[in-house]
Amino acid sequence: MSPISGQDRLNRRGLARRACLLTVRYRAGKAWHPATVIDLSSTGCRLRTGEDLSHAGAVDVWFERPIRDGTPAATLEASGSVIWTRREGLSFQIGIQFPREPEGLSEILRAMRGY
């Protein structure tokens, strides 16, 4: 078999993700834990966490839109599935896919444009 060139690879992600550093909370059970969103799109995100969530399956992520120009913060809870995990030093990066765009997420993505 010949190696696959970069042009022949399929893009597994349907939408480009916006790089960011948002502090969020997540839960893969009953308790909420702090995390950082590394990148975000309307269909998923990449979290940096202190634990491996490969066993979790379903994950809820609590977002808060940053306050800007006196606009109050907006919050939303998005449910998704763990689709990959990777250990990086003492933390983990977790790929989360949302089954559909969470209501209000587009507002958070728009608010991030100025950062």
Residue 97, pLDDT score = 94
Cβ atoms within 10 Å, residue 29: 10
Check whether 91 has a pLDDT greater than 80. yes
Residue 3, pLDDT score = 42
Query: Which tens digit of pLDDT belongs to each residue from 52-85?
Result: 998 888 999 998 766 666 666 678 899 999 999 9
Model pTM score? 0.76
Query: Which tens digit of pLDDT belongs to each residue from 16-61?
Result: 666 777 889 999 999 999 999 999 999 999 999 999 998 888 999 9
Instruction: State the residue range of the domain holding 98.
Output: 18-112
The total of structural domains in the chain comes to: 1
Q: Would you put residue 17 in left (φ > 0), alpha (ψ -120 to 50) or beta? A: beta
CATH code at 61? 2.40.10.220
Indicate whether 38 belongs to any domain: yes
Indicate whether 76 belongs to any domain: yes
Find the helix or strand (DSSP H, E) in which 108 lies. Answer: helix 105-112
Indicate whether 6 belongs to any domain: no
Indicate whether 8 belongs to any domain: no
Indicate whether 2 belongs to any domain: no
